[in-house]
Amino acid sequence: NAGVTQTPKFRVLKTGQSMTLLCAQDMNHEYMYWYRQDPGMGLRLIHYSVGEGTTAKGEVPDGYNVSRLKKQNFLLGLESAAPSQTSVYFCASSYPPRLAPYTGELFFGEGSRLTVL
Amino acid sequence: GENVEQHPSTLSVQEGDSAVIKCTYSDSASNYFPWYKQELGKRPQLIIDIRSNVGEKKDQRIAVTLNKTAKHFSLHITETQPEDSAVYFCAATRRGSTLGRLYFGRGTQLTVWP
């Protein structure tokens, strides 16, 4: 049982390049999230998904796109990377609140450190 | 939406002392308040949570208290140890809503000196 797995773990990009971060979970969670973490800013929600085929914007969605074609995967894309997107990105998943054994707990991946030069 | 404020942003204590981190929230409908611990270079992990129908919850050396009237909740760590050094995040949400998303505070860097 791997939990939440993110790839890649590290990446360096040049301004204007594109890339995709992949998140995979094996806990059959319906909800999945992408957060970015910057010093002193906490965890800010970029996009989230409440089920296969659905996505929604979070607090800081600009410059990012997401897709949830399969329940277990949630992809985060940067079409044209900017230095302001240098950050550590965390994927997380959870059960929906209407279903047991929902505890409200988010299960996080190990993080992906992205540097944009 | 919900707004969660967390204080202090940094906290240093001597081993064996107590540490207290405080959070306030704005949405009176929020009813679930988890705390996450993130060790250096690691992922955040849930350490304790509290629901709005409870005023206090303890788990060994950690406890959370909730004051719904004042809309604030706190994390208390007693007999601190060096391994308690980490960033702690509070969060709030409406458990049972269709959204289920958490609103996080900005975090508190706790350092426990031996």
Q: How far apart are CA B31 and CA B54, in angstroms?
A: 10
Q: What is the pLDDT along chain B (114 residues), one digit of tens a residue?
A: 789 999 999 999 999 999 999 999 999 989 889 999 999 999 999 999 998 888 999 999 999 999 999 999 999 999 999 999 999 999 998 866 655 678 899 999 999 999
Max intra-chain CA distance, chain A: 44
Calculate ∠ Cα B94-A77-A92, nearest 5°.
35
- Where are the alpha helices (H) located in chain B, listed in sequence order? none
**Does the pLDDT at position A100 exceed 60?**
no
Summarize pLDDT for B89-100 with one digit per residue, the tens: 999 988 666 556
Q: Which of B34, B42, B89 sits opposite A105 (nearest CB)?
A: B34
**B48/A contact by beta carbon, under 8 A:** no
CB contact under 8 A, A90 and B43: yes
